[in-house]
Structure 1
C-alpha cells in the first residue's frame, strides 16, 4: 500500500519519541520484519552459516525418517521448502537457498531411494514436484556469479543423475533438464 505524500510529511514531522512508539508497534505485528531486524541489527548478519547449518540438520533428520509413501515425502519436502524460503526472506541468503534446496533433493533421493525408484501413480505428484524443484535450482544457479559454480557442480550433477534414473525421469525429459551441468 502506497502512502499519500501528505501522510509521509506528517509522519516525518512527528516528534522522535512518537515515531519510535509507532515503529515499535508496527514491527511487532510483522514476524518476518522482526526476525529480519533481529538478524541484521542484533546478530549483525554473522549467523547466516549457523542458521543454514540448523536447516541442513533438520533436512537430514527428516530425510532419514521412514516415509510410508511418496506423498508423505512430498509433504515433508514442501514443509522444508517453506523453512528454506523463510530463511531466505529473513537473511537474503541466495547462495544458501540454492545450497539447501540442492541438499534437500539429494538427501531425499539418497535416503528414500526405495520409495522413489519407480514411477507409479503414487509417486507421480512427488516426481513432478522434485523435477520442478530441480528446474528452479538450475534457474537460480544461472543468476549466481559463475565463480560459485565450482561449489555446486558435484551436487548438481549428482541430482541430475538421480533425476534421470529415478521416478522423475519422465518429468526430467519433459522439462528438458540437462544430464550434466554446467
Structure 2
C-alpha cells in the first residue's frame, strides 16, 4: 500500500464532502473483504456470526458427503474450505468460530474420509502433512482462548489427537511435536 504524502492528504481532506463520499464508495467497492466487514458490522450489526458459521459448517458437511476421488483432491477441497474459514474470521473476528470450524474440518476428515489418511504412503504424504499442520495451527489458536472456552473443545480435540496418532498422520505428528493429549492451559 502506498503511503500518501502530506500534500495529497490535505488536498483529499479539503475536497467537497460529496466528492469524498463518491471516492470512498469507489475505493471500498474494490476490496471484497472490506465490503463484507462493513456489511457485517454496519448492516448486520454483528448479529449474523452464527448464521455465517452455519454456512461454513454446511460447506464442510457437503465436502464429506461425497467420497473424495483421491487424497490430493481431498486436500485441495480442505484447503479451499480452510480459506472460507479464514475469510469468515477476517470478516467477523470470530476466534471461537475459527477453532470450532477448523476442528470440524479436521475431525470430520478422520470420521468420513479415513481411507485417505489411515496409512502413510507416497500418495497420502501431502494430505497427512497438511492435516497435521492444520492441527498444529488449531492447537496454537486454542491455547490462546480463555480456559472456559478451551473446555468446550476438550473432548473433540482429544479425539482428533487420538486419530492423528493412530493413523498415517502419526509420522508428521511426532515430527512436529504435537501433544498426544490436550490439556487446558491458561490463556496467554
TM-score for the superposition, normalised by structure 2: 0.93
1:125-144 paired onto structure 2 within 5 Å:
125-144=126-145
CA contact (8 A) 2:85 2:102 kept: yes
Aligned-pair CA distance for 1:147: 2.2
Match of 1:68, SS state, is coil
Match of 2:180, SS state, is coil
Structure 2 counterpart of 1:110 = 111
For residues 135-154 of structure 1, give each alpha carbon's deviation from its aligned partner in whole angstroms, at most 9, with x where no partner exists.
00111112222221111111
Structure 2 counterpart of 1:48 = 49
Structure 1 counterpart of 2:85 = 84
1:158-177 paired onto structure 2 within 5 Å:
158-177=159-178
Residue 18 (structure 2) pairs with residue 17 (structure 1): yes
Q: Structure 1 regions of 5+ residues with no counterpart?
A: none
Structure 1 counterpart of 2:7 = 6
Partner Cα separation in structure 1 for residue 116 and residue 135 of structure 2: 18
CA contact (8 A) 2:63 2:77 kept: yes
Match of 1:110, SS state, is helix
CA contact (8 A) 2:64 2:108 kept: yes
Q: Which runs of 4+ in 1 moved over 3 A?
A: none
Structure 1 counterpart of 2:98 = 97
Structure 2 counterpart of 1:148 = 149
Aligned-pair CA distance for 1:68: 2.2
Q: Structure 2 regions of 5+ residues with no counterpart?
A: 184-188
RMSD value over aligned CA atoms? 1.1
CA contact (8 A) 2:143 2:150 kept: no
Aligned-pair CA distance for 1:6: 2.1
Match of 2:143, SS state, is helix
State the number of aligned residues.
182
Aligned-pair CA distance for 1:115: 2.2
For residues 83-135 of structure 1, give each alpha carbon's deviation from its aligned partner in whole angstroms, at most 9, with x where no partner exists.
11111111111111111111100011100112221111100100000000000
Structure 2 counterpart of 1:32 = 33
